[in-house]
Structure 1
């Protein structure tokens, strides 16, 4: 009598659990735009959700602790003139977020630690360079202020957000719409999937495609791809018969997959969320009501099915918390923020352990908030691995750090709209001394208000601590 050998893995019993009803975010009008992005971005301080809004595109930013029903007058971030398609938090500054829109622009926002009284309508910088809608934004993993955008004009543009300038434009590489873009761990390579059915590995600074695979999945519907920790490529796509499929590839020998598995018949694009610390990939289909997760190893069959978290309601989008935002005391290894039509529901993934001690094997040192490089160093060819932090004592987010832009907003270079001014009105411009004096008085006013806000925040903390 043969006995089936069960593969040993510390993640074999990972289970997902939704939070209690009072820890959800209720009464949020999630965007109805038909675009295959996750519509949600989270970090250890905030959850940001793309929402419906009249007169343009907007997203909402909530402090993680602001659970429960969201007031209908809650301030939103609303600077775009057309729907927002993608948002991404800066990995090196928890108060900075980038948004991409159908209005062809990318905007960078500084979100205060306190809840503002009015809508945020003035970005720190607006980046203009695309001629069609911008559907993808993603920050460089190790270089400060480097942002990537991809648009409907089939361009990939790399920006230095600190100066508001373009660093690189990757054109003539994609002949059709770009579905997704992913950095490798140190930010030296890019991975893209495209409507032309090609999977490309790109050296952005060399402006060349270093590896390419035609039809890793033969179906017509969109593919997604992410780099694994070892430099392999995990893909999701569709077969010719419209079955969903996942694959694992070695970019050094693209001809044959390391693994290829059929999943099910559904037309929802599978969004992969990969955790390099555990080498687990979570698959969330738009319109699905489940999250499937797999462990990627160097033993056959290489992509090992672990389990499925199932619920009754389908997801409209999904946010994925960075490792430093998790509760290590509860053996939490992942947290998702599932978007429903009118709410956001956190789902916690846990490894069942009885010990209260810190679990070293579950929490290796993970990328922290400090960049390893400056934008100029990266552009000149330098690479660096992420600067790691220990989660042994839990991670405490740093206080609000201001993003400084060293040149004027490039919007200021645009010609003025509306009726052209006459020469006589131009001649009445203020003198340099008057402008400097006004800047000085405004700066003093801002500093006084910041001091007052800080004092009130400290008082609020004392009140809160007193009631605990």
Structure 2
């Protein structure tokens, strides 16, 4: 072992510390449905999680200021219709502390019909606000023009998409699939630019794609 040494990590004395309970969100019933994604999304005002509900597809919106224990009964947003992505806006002054069985004024701003089976993934393009990708059990990924309500591009996938992510410029998509393969799609060419074998175990959501 002469001449060999291990460089000491500069992070060896760094330890994580959990946030105090009063700054956390408790009593969240996150979906365990295999088709629902485990995504948690946030913006400067709200936190959104997929909620445990009969049939799947429902989600809860939590105002960031309402920390602590979430009420046992909250007004979840309705699940997406079969094969039809829907675009909704959170009502003004939305709160979890209400006796309403569902949020007021949650009629979809737009409905996009085109998939023949249940939609499992939706994700806005990070570089173009009006472009939405949706993946369905019909083995297609549709790229929607939200303003026009049309899907000018459709990517044919060989198996069910389990997760997807855009690159920063919005020109490429990466997907994981039930066939345990990772694919990078050039959306302009409507075909994979690269394909790789994934993990042998369950698929994780891709954190992103460079480019």
- With normalisation by structure 2, the TM-score equals 0.80
Report if aligned partners of 1:179, 1:192 keep a CA contact under 8 Å in 2.
Answer: yes
Which one has the bigger helix percentage? Answer: 1
Say which SS state the counterpart of residue 128 (structure 1) adopts: coil
Alpha carbons of 1:13 and 1:184: their partners in 2 closer, same or farther (altered >3 Å)? Answer: farther
Consecutive unaligned residues of structure 1, counting only runs of 5 or more, are 82-102, 232-468
Taking the TM superposition and a 5 Å limit, the aligned residue runs for 1:325-344 are none
Alpha carbons of 1:12 and 1:138: their partners in 2 closer, same or farther (altered >3 Å)? Answer: farther
Q: Distance in 2 between matches of 1:134 and 1:47?
A: 21
Alpha carbons of 1:68 and 1:165: their partners in 2 closer, same or farther (altered >3 Å)? Answer: same
Residue 18 of structure 2 is aligned to residue 5 of structure 1: no
RMSD, aligned α-carbons: 2.8
Q: Report deviation, 1:140.
A: 0.5
Q: Which residue number corresponds to residue 203 of structure 1?
A: 186
Report if aligned partners of 1:79, 1:123 keep a CA contact under 8 Å in 2.
Answer: no
Count of matched residue pairs: 203
Question: What do the CA deviations read for 1:165-206 (whole angstroms, capped 9, x no partner)?
Answer: 2131112xx221122222112111112222233322211122
Q: Which residue number corresponds to residue 114 of structure 2?
A: 129
Alpha carbons of 1:224 and 1:71: their partners in 2 closer, same or farther (altered >3 Å)? Answer: closer
Q: Which residue number corresponds to residue 88 of structure 2?
A: 109
Report if aligned partners of 1:194, 1:223 keep a CA contact under 8 Å in 2.
Answer: no
Question: What do the CA deviations read for 1:136-155 (whole angstroms, capped 9, x no partner)?
Answer: 11110111221111111110
Q: Distance in 1 between matches of 2:44 and 2:24?
A: 16
Q: Distance in 2 between matches of 1:226 and 1:13?
A: 27
Who wins on radius of gyration, i.e. which is larger? 1
Q: Which residue number corresponds to residue 310 of structure 1?
A: none
| RCO comparison, higher one (Cα < 8 Å, 6+) | 1
Q: Distance in 2 between matches of 1:54 and 1:13?
A: 46
Q: Distance in 2 between matches of 1:74 and 1:194?
A: 33
Question: What do the CA deviations read for 1:312-333 (whole angstroms, capped 9, x no partner)?
Answer: xxxxxxxxxxxxxxxxxxxxxx
Consecutive unaligned residues of structure 2, counting only runs of 5 or more, are none
